[in-house]
Structure 1
Amino acid sequence: MNDDEGCSASEQWSGAGERPTLKTIAFMTGLGVTTVSRALKDAPDISQETKERVRLVASQIGYYPNRAGVRLRTGKTNVISLILNLSEELMGLTTHIVYGISEILANTSYHLIVTPYSADRDPMTPVRYILDTGSADGVILSSTEPDDARIRLLTERNLPFVTHGRTDMGIAHPFHDFDNDSYAYEAVRRLTANGRKRIAILEPMPRYTYHRHMRSGFARGLRDFGAEAAPFSDVYLDNSMNQIHKAALELFSGKGRVDGFIAGSSAGAVAIASAAEALGLKIGEDLDMVSKQPADLLRYMHPGIMTVNEDIRLAGRELAKAVLGRIEGVPPERLQSISMPDGSLVYPG
């Protein structure tokens, strides 16, 4: 048996168990260590052909920069931290947003670290940890509140950040958001166009900014299109599917007729549709529903549900571009974007 059989490329070229280095890549490519280093940093004076050759070898041998060394030399960690509310996983958003961010960071020296926290924990804790340890060059926040203490602290400490959602606190900061106001308004229009008059909505918890946006669009739609709201205030998007299912069962079993539903997430829509079907109600006949979805799944699971796509992968890309821009010193007003329900992008700044 050949001694190299069963060994990884990095073990073959840098010694069993040793970490590949710039010298390893230089040896394999026939280039100088300085050239290899500059190629990996995308230096403008290095040819594209050389950069691609160096990156290919680096990928094959499993090379990655020593972050401790990079930090000592540059004061940077080359880390972007995504601080994520675990409730977003319940809504099926995490995978899509991570993919989108990773697509942008793939061509940079930055690495993504996901820092999750639960809704019942202090959301300041992961932010304070990053600030106190200097463990990231930039931060991506989710689940923003109208007056968000995390944003105030990050602004005071001058750490680059971007938010998935807006605030009402008068601090200019980078963000990407979905226009939930327009979504809810358009959803009411579509339901009333089908003759629906008594409409319930599964919305975010009142603490979040996008609750205000969704509630505002819903109220305007009811007024403009002559419908009324059916109470559904005991559960929110953050609740489990089982909790939403039980609440929908109670609502459909009550005295007040509900013939329209707006869901803020596809998971919530599935739970509501399941409750309706358990009581013998048919989506598209006995009632209609409009739901947001991050991927085209509801069409296969519940084709009767009217859908609006919220491209979370696009949101991830926009967030990554914004935090990188802020690290480079781009003014925050130029790093703001809003996705519209029709799929278009608006740049307020």
Structure 2
Amino acid sequence: MATITDPPTPDSDTQRPTLKTIAAATGFAIATVSRALKDAPDIGEETKRIVRETAEQLGYRPNRAGVRLRTGKTNVIALVLSTETDVMNHTSRLIYSIANALRGTAYHLIVTPFFPDQDPMEPIRYIVETESADGIILNQTKEDDPRVRYMHDHGFPFAAHGRTSMGIDHSFFDFDNEAYGRLGARVMAERGRKRLLIVPPPRAHMYARHMTFGFSDECALRGLPFEVSQDITSDSGGEAVEAAIAARFHQPNPPDGILVGSTTSAMATIAGAESSGRVLGRDFDVVAKEAIAVLRRFRQDILIVREDVGRAGEFLARALLAEIEKRDWTDRQGLEVPVKVEQRPPGREVEDKT
């Protein structure tokens, strides 16, 4: 078996290590080194480990201009994100998990933001038309999403964090927000809450439709009156959400159970309700989902549903690489279904038995 030897000394400080340098250091053929660095499925894991460690020791970096000339590829994955997303919790975890899944491959990640006043098609068109990436990961999908249609029509590889209902078969991973809405309404009803409110994501997004339907249908099945916030969404920003919830709690018949669509809106909702003198866990409940454990540090009595965004990012990265490299990949579409709500005291959980 090939072993790692002391790396050969370059002729000068400006000489870049190449595939040939790695091949000389490991004893593998240049073709084997090349395929190992590309994470080819026909190369053994031990061989890949040796090649990657040697490449790192040597400071090897592929010449991307040369790669593009030879293969027409950039070895770049673009993650296109709205600046309105919940950066503190959801988005940071998504970026980390995608980048981590790409470690040890020939690909690296770039994050391309778009702003609330910007056409979300602009970054998609730019990347596709300039061929500045080999594939795109996007989120906050819509029921009829022009970005998905555009990339599908242009044969451009992509994967979506979220679903559509366009009849287009594409790679995606999604959190089952309908199940989340149902589970949240159910646990609040079981805790004796009588008037429920949902602060959903922006209504144009597909997951807002799923979440609102699950919540409202569960309330209807249980005969519970409910409200859907009209002036704010879970992406409205902390100040706007806090002010709107505070105003609602100073009106007659305020809600005593609230389901929200983001971590930031959960904290703002609690602050707004508490400004009226109510106490979380005693006078009202809040159900929130989170990707990173921060809410329990804010208030012990929040009802929490975990969302494994790390799993989503890894799934999307691997599904997209399979699309780019035209490999068969059976797990092109994934769905995380929440089944429990974490309550205080620790260990006391309500499980979805349906």
Q: TM-score range by the shorter chain?
A: 0.7 to 0.9
Distance 2:165 2:29 in 1: 53
For each residue in 1:177-224, what CA deviation from the matched residue of structure 2 results, as whole angstroms up to 9, or x when unmatched? 111111111111111111111111110111111111111111111111
For each residue in 1:239-271, what CA deviation from the matched residue of structure 2 results, as whole angstroms up to 9, or x when unmatched? 111111111111111223221110111211111
The farther-off stretch of 228-237 and 118-127 is: 228-237
| Number of aligned residues | 335
Tell me if 1:183 matches 2:180. Answer: yes
* 1:342 equivalent in structure 2: 339
* 1:131 equivalent in structure 2: 128
For each residue in 1:63-96, what CA deviation from the matched residue of structure 2 results, as whole angstroms up to 9, or x when unmatched? 2211111111111111111111112244622221
Judging changes above 3 Å, is the alpha-carbon distance between structure 1 residues 110 and 299 closer, same or farther for their aligned structure 2 residues?
same
* 2:222 equivalent in structure 1: 225
* 1:280 equivalent in structure 2: 277
**Pairwise CA distance, 1:334:** 5.1
* 1:347 equivalent in structure 2: none
Distance 1:314 1:57 in 2: 29
* 1:88 equivalent in structure 2: 85
Q: 2:142 aligns with which of 141, 145, 149?
A: 145
- Secondary structure of the residue aligned to 2:118 is coil
* 1:6 equivalent in structure 2: none
Distance 1:108 1:57 in 2: 14
Percent of pairs with identical residues: 44
Q: Decide whether the 8 Å contact of 1:241 with 1:267 is kept in 2.
A: yes
Coordinate RMSD, CA, aligned: 2.5
Distance 2:298 2:273 in 1: 14
Judging changes above 3 Å, is the alpha-carbon distance between structure 1 residues 336 and 231 closer, same or farther for their aligned structure 2 residues?
closer
Q: Decide whether the 8 Å contact of 1:143 with 1:208 is kept in 2.
A: yes
Amino acid at match of 1:128: R
Q: Decide whether the 8 Å contact of 2:86 with 2:263 is kept in 1.
A: no
Tell me if 1:211 matches 2:208. Answer: yes
Judging changes above 3 Å, is the alpha-carbon distance between structure 1 residues 38 and 288 closer, same or farther for their aligned structure 2 residues?
closer
Q: Decide whether the 8 Å contact of 1:20 with 1:62 is kept in 2.
A: yes
* 1:236 equivalent in structure 2: 233
* 2:265 equivalent in structure 1: 268
The farther-off stretch of 283-292 and 18-27 is: 18-27
Q: Decide whether the 8 Å contact of 1:252 with 1:258 is kept in 2.
A: yes
Structure that is richer in helix per residue = 1
* 1:195 equivalent in structure 2: 192
Q: Decide whether the 8 Å contact of 2:235 with 2:262 is kept in 1.
A: no
Q: 2:116 aligns with which of 109, 119, 125?
A: 119
* 2:347 equivalent in structure 1: none
Amino acid at match of 1:152: R
Which structure 1 segments of 5+ residues have no match? 1-8, 344-349
**Pairwise CA distance, 1:116:** 1.0
**Pairwise CA distance, 1:120:** 2.1
Distance 1:70 1:14 in 2: 23
Calculate the TM-score normalised by the size of structure 2: 0.86
* 1:67 equivalent in structure 2: 64
Calculate the TM-score normalised by the size of structure 1: 0.88
Amino acid at match of 1:37: S
Amino acid at match of 1:41: K
Q: Decide whether the 8 Å contact of 1:283 with 1:304 is kept in 2.
A: yes
The farther-off stretch of 87-96 and 168-177 is: 87-96
Which structure 2 segments of 5+ residues have no match? 1-5, 341-354
**Pairwise CA distance, 1:315:** 0.8
Amino acid at match of 2:309: I
Tell me if 1:21 matches 2:18. Answer: yes
The residue correspondences of 1:320-339 to structure 2 (distance < 5 A) are 320-329=317-326, 335-339=332-336
Q: Decide whether the 8 Å contact of 1:90 with 1:267 is kept in 2.
A: no
Q: Decide whether the 8 Å contact of 1:14 with 1:24 is kept in 2.
A: no
